DNA sequence: TACATCTTACTACATTTGTAGAAATTGTCA
DNA sequence: TGACAATTTCTACAAATGTAGTAAGATGTA
């Protein structure tokens, strides 16, 4: 399942807490995203058509739940990036991450830290 | 600079070796990509307009060179993925990479290996 | 009950993307 | 020099995407 940028915004809001009404989703979008309410509804309708989201009527209004999980969406976005831009393998992606000159120090630290977390168990066992 | 999927195909072929003619690029595209020659030309024209590629006439034909570097393109694609899908931080991306259940053993090994490469210098110094 | 609201359902429209054909131009070889 | 072949230029067009307006139905409320 491929989500567009705008769809990611909606899904991110929905994953954070659901079910949610369109109104609630609107409230959770990042500041910069200043969509008309009907824009959000349009996106939701399209997501329902794509079966990324389930809609159920609650009185006159609708409640939405994700069908597509964040994990699934992340996984396919990542795979598609890797295929498109990193020769289809995670290796080149990892290399790239490490060679990145324009990572901030903070990002760098973050990464190293995670690596250690995930690396240490191996050595400690 | 944001490249579309099709544009990545062209750019990948061009980065591999340049300058290149449209014909050469065509020859380097992956098997599955079976575009008409004019499709490739259209993409190239658009990439020139976007200033991702430079075109120079060599007799009747054109030679193309990338202006946008692979590194730059990768960097912005990665950043945009991270923003869109990983809360804007590399940390969550790294975590995700490690928790991924559906990585193949090979991919897993690849990653660990890279990590070690980049981790060891720190300890060995 | 009659209005002010909210929500949905439909429609709209510009831009970007994927894909390519047709026509014009240029180079080439017999 | 004429016929072909290769290349470029233009034009086209459908699908996807971003963004939103309008009409009509449901609801709360004075």
3-state secondary structure of A60: coil
Whether residues A114 and B91 touch (CB distance < 8 A) is answered with yes
Question: What's the complex ipTM?
Answer: 0.89
Task: Give the mean model confidence (pLDDT) for residues B97-119.
Answer: 74
Which pLDDT score is estimated for B97?
A: 86
Distances (CA, A) of B109 to A33, A70, B68, B83, B113: 40, 25, 32, 27, 6
Q: Which helix (H) or strand (E) holds B58?
A: strand B53-58
Q: Which band of pLDDT confidence, cut at 50, 70 and 90, is reported for residue B124?
A: very low
**Is the minimum distance from the CB of B36 to strand D below 7 Å?**
no
Domain boundaries, chain B: 5-66, 89-125
User: Is the per-residue pLDDT at B114 higher than 90?
Assistant: no
Quickly count: other Cβ atoms within 10 Å of residue A15's Cβ.
16
Interface of B with A in 49-88 (CB under 8 A): 73-75, 77-78, 81, 84-86
Whether residues A81 and B81 touch (CB distance < 8 A) is answered with yes
CA distance A98 to B101: 23
3-state secondary structure of A19: coil
What size, in residues, is chain A?
125
Fold for domain A5-66? Arc Repressor Mutant, subunit A (1.10.10)
Contacts of B94 in chain A (CB under 8 A): 110-111, 114-115, 118
Contacts of A103 in chain B (CB under 8 A): 90
pLDDT tens, N- to C-terminus, chain A (125 residues): 999 999 999 999 999 999 999 999 999 999 999 999 999 999 999 999 999 999 999 988 999 999 999 999 999 999 999 999 999 988 899 889 888 766 777 777 777 777 677 665 544 43
Whether residues B119 and A114 touch (CB distance < 8 A) is answered with no
């Amino acid at each position: 399942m491929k989500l567009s940028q705008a769809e990611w915004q909606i899904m991110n809001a929905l994953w954070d807490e659901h079910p949610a009404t369109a109104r609630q989703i609107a409230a959770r979008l990042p500041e910069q995203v200043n969509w008309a309410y009907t824009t959000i509804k349009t996106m939701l309708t399209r997501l329902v058509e794509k079966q990324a989201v389930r809609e159920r009527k609650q009185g006159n209004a609708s409640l939405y739940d994700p069908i597509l999980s964040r994990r699934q969406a992340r996984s396919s976005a990542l795979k598609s990036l890797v295929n498109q831009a990193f020769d289809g393998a995670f290796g080149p992606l990892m290399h790239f991450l490490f060679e990145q000159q324009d990572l901030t120090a903070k990002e760098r630290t973050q990464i190293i830290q995670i690596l250690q977390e995930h690396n240490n168990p191996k050595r400690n066992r």
